[in-house]
Structure 1
C-alpha cells in the first residue's frame, strides 16, 4: 500500500490524483499530512504540490462539470477520508463517463457532502452580520461547520460592492478582504478578532442597541413558535446575530 501524503491544499490534492495516474498506482490512499500516523505496512510518499499538474487534472475533468463541483465541495466539507472518496469517484467517472450514477457509493457520498456544504453556504450568506470598525472597515467573524468562505466571497462582493469589508473564519484562521477592487485571502491574529467590541466604531454600538430594541418591540409573544424558529435559525448560528447574542 502506498500512502500519498499531501499538504491539505486543493492543488495538493489534485497533484496527488495526478501522481496516482502518472505512476499507475493501484493500492493507494491519499492522506493529509496532519493525519499521518505510523504504519509499518505502507510506503509513505510525500506529494509536492505542483500547480501545473493540478491544472492538468482539473482541465481533464472539464467535461464532467457536476463531478468537478462535487469534488471541490467535498474537499471543503473537510470530512475524514474525503480524499479517497474523491479519488474513487474520479476513477469511476473517467472509466464509465457517468458522473450521475448515484448508485455508486463514492458518487452518492460526494453528492451528500455537496448538499451539506451548499446548505452551510446559504446559511452563512443569510446569517453573517458585519460591524463597522474604527477604520470604517466592516468586519464579520464566523465559525462555520464547513470551509465555505471561498464559496461566499462572490456573494458578498456583489452585495457590498461599495464597502470595504472583511469576513474572518476564526475556526480556520483565515479570511477574505475586499478593498473595493478585489477580494484577497488573508491571515490575521484571530485572538484580537474574538472581541470585536475593542475595535468597533462607537456609532456601531448605538446601532446594535437600536436594532435589538426594534427586534424586541416588533415580536408578538402570542405568535412565537420556538420549534419553527429553531428549524430556520439553528441555535449554533445565534452567535452571529446582533439580536440574539451580540458581540
Structure 2
C-alpha cells in the first residue's frame, strides 16, 4: 500500500513532506500537491503541514551531500511544476543522503539525469524572461509588466530586475499563476491582485498606462518596422531566437 503525502505546493511544504518520509520511515510513498490529489481505495493519504524548521533541516542536511549548484537544480526542478516532479526530487534527495559519494553527475541514473534536464529547461525560460519582459509606465508612475512563462520562473528573475531597475518602482505579474513581485525602491514583496489578460488589450491601455508611455510604445514599434530590411528577413532564424509564444511580451511586435 502506498502513502500519498499531500502538501500545500510551496517549496518549504515539499521539504516538510521529505522530512515526514524520514520521520515516519516511509518506503512506498508519493508526494502530491493538494490541487492534484485524488482519492484512492488502495492508497492512504496524509496531509503534511508546512514546517519551516523541518524544511530547513532537510535543506541544510543536503549541503553535506551535494553542492550549492546541486541544491539550485532541485529548486529549479520544483519550479518546473511538472506533474510528479516531487517524487523525482524525493528520489534524488534519498539517493544523495544515502550515498557516500556525490551523486550529482551520476547520469546513468535516469532520475538524476531528469533533474539535470528539467533544471536546464527552467534556466532557459528564466533567461528568456530576463530578455523579453517589457515594462510599461502606469498612470501612477510604476513600471508594470505581465508574463505567462511555461515554468514558474519569476522567483529566479528577481535578482536580475532588482539590480537592473534599482531606481524604479516596478511590478512583474504572472497572469498564469496569479501572483507578482513588486519592488518599492527598498525591497521586493510578493503580491496577489485581481489582474486579467485584458490589461494587455489595446482598448484597455488608456485606462492603465500614461499617454506618454503609449506614444513611446508606438514610436518604438514604428522604428522597429522601419529599421527592418525586407530583403534580409529570415523568419526561420528569427523565430528560433525569439519563439512566437514570447511575442506577446514585446511591444515592438504589436505595431
TM-score by length of 2: 0.94
Structure-2 residue corresponding to 1:131: 136
Counterpart check, 1:155 vs 2:160: yes
Q: Residues 193 and 51 of structure 1: is their aligned pair in 2 closer, same or farther, counting only changes over 3 Å?
A: farther
TM-superposed CA distance for 1:194, in Å, is 4.6
Structure-2 residue corresponding to 1:26: 27
For residues 18 and 192 of structure 2, the distance between their equivalents in structure 1, rounded to whole angstroms, comes to: 28
* Match of residue 69, structure 1, among 67, 72, 90: 72
Q: Aligned Cα RMSD in Å?
A: 1.2
Structure-2 residue corresponding to 1:111: 116
Counterpart check, 1:91 vs 2:94: yes
For residues 187-207 of structure 1, the C-alpha deviation after alignment (integer angstroms, 9 at most, x for no partner) is 001127455612001100100
TM-superposed CA distance for 1:70, in Å, is 1.4
The answer to whether the Cα contact below 8 Å between 1:66 and 1:99 also exists between their aligned partners in 2 is no
* Match of residue 214, structure 1, among 208, 223, 230: 223
For residues 187 and 146 of structure 2, the distance between their equivalents in structure 1, rounded to whole angstroms, comes to: 19
TM-superposed CA distance for 1:66, in Å, is 2.9
Matched positions, count: 246
List gaps (5 residues or longer) in structure 2.
none
Structure-2 residue corresponding to 1:204: 213
For residues 153 and 133 of structure 1, the distance between their equivalents in structure 2, rounded to whole angstroms, comes to: 20
The answer to whether the Cα contact below 8 Å between 1:120 and 1:145 also exists between their aligned partners in 2 is yes
The answer to whether the Cα contact below 8 Å between 2:221 and 2:254 also exists between their aligned partners in 1 is no
1:168 is paired with a residue whose SS is: strand
The answer to whether the Cα contact below 8 Å between 1:132 and 1:201 also exists between their aligned partners in 2 is yes
Structure-1 residue corresponding to 2:240: 231
Structure-1 residue corresponding to 2:44: 43
2:253 is paired with a residue whose SS is: coil
TM-superposed CA distance for 1:226, in Å, is 0.4
List gaps (5 residues or longer) in structure 1.
none
For residues 34 and 136 of structure 1, the distance between their equivalents in structure 2, rounded to whole angstroms, comes to: 37
Structure-2 residue corresponding to 1:78: 81
For residues 127 and 110 of structure 1, the distance between their equivalents in structure 2, rounded to whole angstroms, comes to: 26
Please give the residue correspondences for 1:157-176 in structure 2 after superposition, counting only pairs within 5 Å. Answer: 157-176=162-181
For residues 68 and 213 of structure 1, the distance between their equivalents in structure 2, rounded to whole angstroms, comes to: 45
2:49 is paired with a residue whose SS is: coil
TM-superposed CA distance for 1:245, in Å, is 2.7
For residues 194 and 15 of structure 1, the distance between their equivalents in structure 2, rounded to whole angstroms, comes to: 39
The answer to whether the Cα contact below 8 Å between 1:129 and 1:240 also exists between their aligned partners in 2 is yes
For residues 133 and 227 of structure 1, the distance between their equivalents in structure 2, rounded to whole angstroms, comes to: 35
For residues 192-226 of structure 1, the C-alpha deviation after alignment (integer angstroms, 9 at most, x for no partner) is 74556120011001001110111011111000000
